[in-house]
Amino acid sequence: MTEKIIVIEDQSPLELFGANDQNLVLITSLFPKLKIVARGDTIKLIGADELIDDFIQKFNKLLAHYDKYGSPTLKDVEVIFSGKDELSEHPKDKSSEVIVYGPNGYNIKARTINQRKMVESVEKNDMVFAIGPAGSGKTYTAVALAVNALKNKNVRKIILTRPAVEAGENLGFLPGDLKEKLDPYLQPLYDALRDMLPPEKLKLYMETGVIQIAPLAFMRGRTLDNAFVILDEAQNSTQSQLKMFLTRMGKSAKFIITGDVTQVDLPKHQPSGLIQAVKLLKRIKGIDFVMLDERDIVRHNLVQKIVKAYDKKTE
């Protein structure tokens, strides 16, 4: 009899083993001659060498599946550990394909036609502008694509940025130091990330700089290589700020620029950089523009009606 201990380093045991350890129970049933004891982030195996080797090989496949797709289902576990089939051979419906699996098995995917266009456009282009009204899923879809790219090791880091522009309120009157003043502007990005990554992993990524969230002004002078970079609320960037941001693009980088041209909070004498970029860059190969509208709004159904009412007033 041999004893072997496996340490789970980068994955969440809670998500890996499922609710009430249902995945672990299934795994144990598929290895009846192997004693499997899971505690915290370690698994102790006791049994014959060949059984342990077989278990480790299949368990590594499960970890790889987790890294790529998030929490495995019972079906995923059965396929991996029974050796019935290869997961990659299962056909997928592109229209309902999950972008990333969040904590507790929460599936994040494009829910509208134009959100799916965003996903397809990012696959084909290194720079994508996603323009549309509030609640149309621009930022959320962009962050999901960034997390997916990080999980698949297509990029080494995620950089999320926003212009710190006051929407009718005065930044100077907010309490606290500079970080505390700026954090409210960046909160929607934190909220999206919390839906997509376990708290402990998000904290680690933030502490190590794998995920960086900063105001747009902090991008000056940087070269952003091997990164998935999102500029949110780009309608509130000035023309010089947006030019500065776009020229930060380094090698092996993906850029998504999101914004709503109907909600510009800049002073009246200051033209929006996003509106200028749409005119200047729309014919450049490798840059794509995806236009979202009220049909893509996935918030409360009243939001669609509110957007329509304001659009009519503008017209």
Q: How far is CA 249 from CA 157, 158, 229, in A?
A: 13, 13, 9
Cα-Cα end-to-end distance for the chain: 78
Residue by residue, DSSP assigns 249-280 as B-TT-EEEEEE-TT---S-TTS-BHHHHHHHH
pTM above 0.85, yes or no: no
Q: Which domains does the chain have, with CATH numbers?
A: 2-89 (3.30.1370.10), 94-314 (3.40.50.300)
| Residue ranges of E strands in 126-231 | 127-131, 157-162, 211-215, 227-231
Neighbour order of strands in the sheet with 127-131: 211-215, 157-162, 227-231, 254-259, 127-131, 287-291
Tens-binned pLDDT, residue by residue, of the chain (315 aa): 889 999 887 677 877 888 788 999 999 999 999 999 998 889 999 999 999 999 999 999 888 877 766 678 888 888 888 765 554 444 444 444 788 877 766 778 888 889 999 999 999 999 999 999 988 999 999 999 999 999 999 999 999 998 876 544 444 555 555 556 566 767 888 889 998 998 899 999 999 999 998 888 889 899 999 999 999 999 999 999 999 999 999 999 999 999 999 889 898 889 999 999 999 998 999 999 999 988 788 666 677 678 778 877 665
